[in-house]
Chain A
Amino acid sequence: MAVYTKGIAFEKLEIVLKIYKKQARSQKEVLSLFSQESHRKTIENTYEKLTPLTIAEALLLSNAEQRMVALQCFGVEELVTKLNAKQLDAQTITKKQIRWDEHLKPYEHTYEDTYELYKIDAKSLGIERHFWREPAIYFVKCQCASTDRLYYLYVSEDIAQQQDAIAAIAWTMRFNGKPLTKQQYLNLMYSET
């Protein structure tokens, strides 16, 4: 009999319980979700001692939907830290903006915009090396100047191999269907300021 979390069916009760443990749900709350006697007994006997789901355990799930639900338990910062993301490059651009103060008067705001390029290698992802090729995930970290939110944007391997964080962030933007080059991006930043 399947067990569910976020509407996705899992074959193993233990994985769902580990997800609940990661979500810091109490045993009482978890018991309220189960009606089968065998499940309830397992929860009563094992839940308190159970360790929360780890990223490695989540990545081992072969079903993509189950993996997605399991990985949602982790924040991006936690994923980046626990998966030993290696910083390949970091660059800072000084930008100027015209902003308006509370009296609706324009003023010049200068700030620094930092872009960081990271790699998570195959070993951390639990993926085997394919002969000489090592599968990896590359992403660029940046911060929205308006909301201060952090963003982690996927970039392709060929652009990441340039080891240039600005070239990487430029690649995430498209003009006429083509990715921007580093120089185009910097020119546009100049236009923005």
Chain B
Amino acid sequence: MWSYWKKIYNSFFTNQINTEKEKSIIHKQGPTVYPPLNAVTTKSEEVEIEVRKERDINTVLKEAIVEQLSAGQPIPVDWNAGGDETICNVQIGEAYDYKKDGVNIGWELGDLIAQVLELPNAGEYFNNGKGHIKVDQKGQVVLHYSARAYYYDYEESDWVDGEPAENVSSTEWIPVDDPFHLNQYLHRVNINFSVWMHVEGRNTITYDSYGGLIHTQVREGDEMSVPIPKEAEAFYGEMIRKRLQKFEKDFEFSEEVAKSKSLHSIDVSGRLEEGGVRLELQKSYVVIDFIADNESVILIK
């Protein structure tokens, strides 16, 4: 009770007399603490939590891995961590979201790998890698992998273990007719294109990630799904892929850079507009060394 009146007294007089005092009191009280965002669970998360209660999550993961490997299906993994996010893809069969007993195996393994390898999610750290999940002779789940990492040291104002040496960007307009009659939706829906790829070395081009091409975003009105035929995906996909390969050739990096152990990526984002497609292409290049080259780490004992 006393503390209540003291608070009223303090806030009344400090507010009236001196705003600096007011600020210091607010500061002492500290910020409001909100529950973490993940404290709110979705229905599917609730199912997963129930499963976790009944069975050890690692047992479910191990069973799923053994099933896949026994069926002759490899389990490839790749990650692109840092820059404010940790993306770790674990492919089970054809899917990245394969579920067993209500547990999302890919997501759980992704979390486990991020935890074991201590993958960064801060803006200035970057860690790219890939590998395969296997089971060794002792029955342990093992990740065979190679990874490269670098970071930006704010104190030294310099990149450490890596150097994002060159960046090239370009905005292009590709005139194209509207063979799939998608322009009729443009007054209310954004129809976007998104493609990204990682290229390793000079001659060993591999598409590490190749995301879905067309994404729609409602801007005005209600949520009518825009019927985008598969042929449209193929049509625009081929057009953008061709442009992307030309862009890749047009902007070759220096000989020295190309010879080094390098990693570069091309990001393409675009939008369907009246009369054509507007593309923004960006090629960025990083000189980085391996921090792990064909190494192994135990994920589950």
A contact residues vs B (CB 8 Å cutoff): 1-7, 32-36, 39, 131-133, 157-158
Contacts and interface: CB of A to CB of B under 8 A. Distances in A.
A1 B16 contact: no
A1 B223 contact: yes
B15 A158 contact: no
* Residue with the greatest number of chain B CB neighbours at <10 A, chosen from A2, A4, A36, A39: A4
B72 interface: no
Interface residues of B, number: 15
Given A5-B220, A33-B220, A33-B222, 18 more contacts: A1-B223, A2-B223, A3-B221, A3-B223, A4-B219, A5-B219, A6-B219, A6-B220, A7-B218, A32-B188, A32-B221, A34-B221, A35-B224, A39-B221, A131-B12, A132-B12, A133-B15, A157-B19
A28 to B, nearest CB: 12
Please name the 7 residue pairs, one residue from A and one from B, whose CB atoms are nearest each other, closest first: A33-B221, A35-B224, A33-B220, A4-B218, A34-B221, A7-B219, A33-B188
Nearest to B220: A33
Contacts, number: 46
A1 B12 CA distance: 46
Contacts of B224: 34-36
Interface of B: 12, 15-16, 19, 187-188, 190, 217-224
Nearest to A7: B219
Given A7-B217, A32-B187, A33-B187, A39 B222 contact: yes
Q: Is the interface of A mostly helix, strand, loop or mixed?
A: loop
Nearest to A36: B222
19 contacts: A1-B222, A1-B223, A4-B222, A4-B223, A6-B219, A7-B190, A7-B219, A32-B221, A33-B187, A33-B188, A33-B220, A33-B221, A34-B221, A35-B222, A35-B224, A39-B221, A132-B16, A157-B19, A158-B19
B219 A132 contact: no
A51 B223 CA distance: 24
B25 to A, nearest CB: 14
Contacts of A39: 221-222
B210 to A, nearest CB: 26
* Residue with the greatest number of chain A CB neighbours at <10 A, chosen from B16, B187, B222, B224: B222
Contacts of B187: 32-33
* Residue with the greatest number of chain A CB neighbours at <10 A, chosen from B188, B190, B220: B220
